[in-house]
Amino acid sequence: MAAAVTAPHTTNARSSKTESYVDNKRRDDIRQANILAARAVADAVRTSLGPKGMDKMISSATGEVIITNDGATILNKMEVLQPAAKMLVDLSRSQDAAAGDGTTTVVVLAGSLLRRSLTLLSAGIHPTVISDSLYKLSVRAVDVLHSMAIPLELSDRDSLVKSAATSLNSKVVSQYSSLLAPLAVDAVLSVVDPEHPDLVDLRDIKIVKKLGGTVDDTELIRGLVFDKKVSHTAGGPTRVENAKIAVIQFQISPPKTDIEQSIIVSDYTQMDRILREERNYILGMVKKIKASGCNVLLIQKSILRDAVTDLSLHYLAKAKILVVKDVERDEIEFITKTLNCLPIANIEHFREEKLGHADLVEEVLIGDGSKIIKITGIKDVGRTTTVLVRGSNQLMIDEAERSLHDALCVVRCLVNKRYLIAGGGAPEIDMSWQLGVWAKELKGMESFCVKEFAEALEVIPYTLAENAGLNPISIVTELRNRHAEGETNAGINVRKGQITNILEENVVQPLLVSTSAVTLAIECVRMILKIDDIVTVR
């Protein structure tokens, strides 16, 4: 790697340093140990960077297996103990929260910056000086990125699709990017609220995973999908047109006694009475529901008692009401928003104006004989979207979901901040080049530090080339020369194995992903540099 070229002159540096500040051996050791541990984490994900990056198979203690290419997922699953190394895991997580993509990039960048910090430390430069130069560098780097950015209009669907495709290209499911990229764009654009045009809440996009078929069968559904069957006993409907849908949070079953109590029935007339009461109680409820015109019931899951009993299902079937039970509590908000209805917490509040309306609710048989429930043609449908992800095995579905999440985040970034930037290592090498020029204008230690860190940014194109099986040294050198000649958008074309104008290859990514990767990585490195002791407390 380019970062490895300058070998630290450890012996010389140590002797000159002991003259400047004495008795700091332990501090240096701690700092060094932290940096080495953090770098080990960065090295673990380095091979996953880029479109030709490798995937990781993660096997957990419980026997769960995951195949992924997503930096944040790899690090989240890794059991990291060393506190400084944990900071890199958190770094990836914050990038995931801030931008959603670039989670490998940010960690690889931090690793490279840490390696250079170690060189600078062993040259006897004080950590504070290094940290301050890093701060200046980050401000300048963001400026460079801004100067490269290309403004974007949301109506420019093509560019949005291109950037979603760039993010998907480096995933296990890359062969499906022509389907998933437009899907991600449509999903995000459909939930943009005209009143807050730059805010997107990804919770409004629900991803339902269903085993079977291939990723090709993944579809966008303007409506609701439940991965379950309709609950019905003989004769209950499984398809309702012109549906009036109620979302209820109470159960249609007889009340139970408290856990510690029991009722002893000693007389058969009493027994009869109980059964009659139960029947009347349930019948009363079903009548009230029917009276409001409701013909589809979505019942929230309860841990206290059964949502429905055989008896209530029987009455509901007679009333021609379709029943979906065990709807999760945390889905209620999404459902009511989509259906534009109100959840009903008590039978006494069951009124017609609380219902939602849809053209069709039906149980659909898919592929391998399993069933899902679809609600389509919703009247006054809320700003939500459902994506039904299909796949031939669970590993594939899970990875498709994670990749789709990245693509959704990329489009969200572009809605938030409407700038694009070229990919393929172009922004990093341009930053490196321009910061290198700037370093020459600076003086003293600062200049030295900035020069080192500017070179550290080359790790991204270097790794992209390396992972694609190209010769990293010649590629990075040529790339640097092309940028020095002013070709700002020259990048690594991994398909052709050479350097071309990367914009023509349609490899674009959101500016936000790059700026947040650089600033977060630098912030993390500065934090690690400032730690000079680890104190364990009980």
**Active site (catalytic) residues:** 70, 103-104, 406
CA distance 307 to 231: 11
| Pick 38 or 321: Cβ nearer ligand ADP | 38
Rule CB under 6 A: say whether 317 interacts with ligand ADP: no
- Residue 167 as a binder of Mg ion (CB under 5 A): the answer is yes
* For the chain, the helix, strand and coil percentages under 3-state DSSP, each to the nearest 5: 50, 15, 30
Q: Among residues 424 and 436, whose Cβ is nearest to ligand ADP?
A: 424
Distance CA 446, CA 462 (A): 25
Interface with ligand ADP (CB under 6 A), residue from 68, 89, 101, 325: 101
| x/- track of binding to Mg ion for residues 98-137 (CB under 5 A) | ---x------------------------------------
Q: How many CB atoms lie within 10 A of CB 147?
A: 10
Hey, what are 85's tokens?
Answer: 């190394």
Beta-strand relationship, 296-300 and 239-248: parallel
What phi and psi values does residue 149 have, to the nearest 5 degrees? -70, 150
From 71, 124, 223, 236, residue interacting with ligand ADP (rule: CB under 6 A): 71
Indicate the helix (H) or strand (E) that contains 517: helix 511-529
Closest to Mg ion by CB, 403 vs 489, is 403
- x/- binding map, residues 333-352, to ligand ADP, per CB under 6 A? --------------------
Q: Looking at beta carbons only, is 251 or 516 nearer to Mg ion?
A: 516
Q: How far apart are CA 282 and CA 278, in angstroms?
A: 6
User: How are beta strands 150-151 and 419-422 bridged, if at all?
Assistant: antiparallel
Decide if residue 423 touches ligand ADP (CB under 6 A). Answer: yes
3-state secondary structure of 31: helix
If binding is defined by CB under 6 A, does position 111 make contact with ligand ADP? Answer: no
Q: Which does 460 bind (CB under 5 to 8 A by kind): Mg ion, ligand ADP, none?
A: ligand ADP
Select from 397, 476, 492, 522 the one that contacts ligand ADP (CB under 6 A). 492
Q: Does 223 bind ligand ADP (CB under 6 A)?
A: no
Q: How many residues does the chain have?
A: 538
Tell me which residues in 21-60 interact with ligand ADP (CB under 6 A): 48-51, 53
Rule CB under 5 A: is residue 95 a binding residue for Mg ion?
A: no
If binding is defined by CB under 6 A, does position 464 make contact with ligand ADP? Answer: yes
Residue 90: CB minimum distance to ligand ADP, A: 16
Give Dmax (Cα) for the chain: 100
CB 508, min distance to ligand ADP, A = 9
User: How far is Cα 353 from Cα 173, in angstroms, rounded to an integer?
Assistant: 44
C-alpha 103/C-alpha 93 separation (Å) is 7
> What 8-state DSSP symbol labels residue 379?
T
Residue 283 CA, distance from chain mean position: 46
Angle CA(331)–CA(336)–CA(340) in degrees, nearest 5?
A: 155
Partner touching 119 among Mg ion, ligand ADP, none, CB below 5 to 8 Å by kind: none
- Choose the binding region for ligand ADP from 95-103, 231-239, 253-261, 300-308 (rule: CB under 6 A): 95-103
> Binding partner of residue 169 among ligand ADP, Mg ion, none, CB under 5 to 8 Å per kind?
ligand ADP
Binding of ligand ADP at residue 500 (CB under 6 A)?
no
Q: Are 128 and 515 in contact (CB under 8 A)?
A: no
507 binds, among Mg ion, ligand ADP, none (CB under 5 to 8 A by kind): ligand ADP
Of 405, 428, 534, 525, the residue nearest 107 (C-alpha): 525
Residues 382-421 that bind ligand ADP (CB under 6 A): none
Alpha helices (H) in 292-377, listed in sequence order: 310-318, 332-339
Binding site for Mg ion (CB under 5 A): 101, 167
What is the contact surface with ligand ADP in residues (CB under 6 A)?
A: 48-51, 53, 69-71, 101-105, 166, 169-170, 423-424, 460, 464, 492, 494, 507, 509
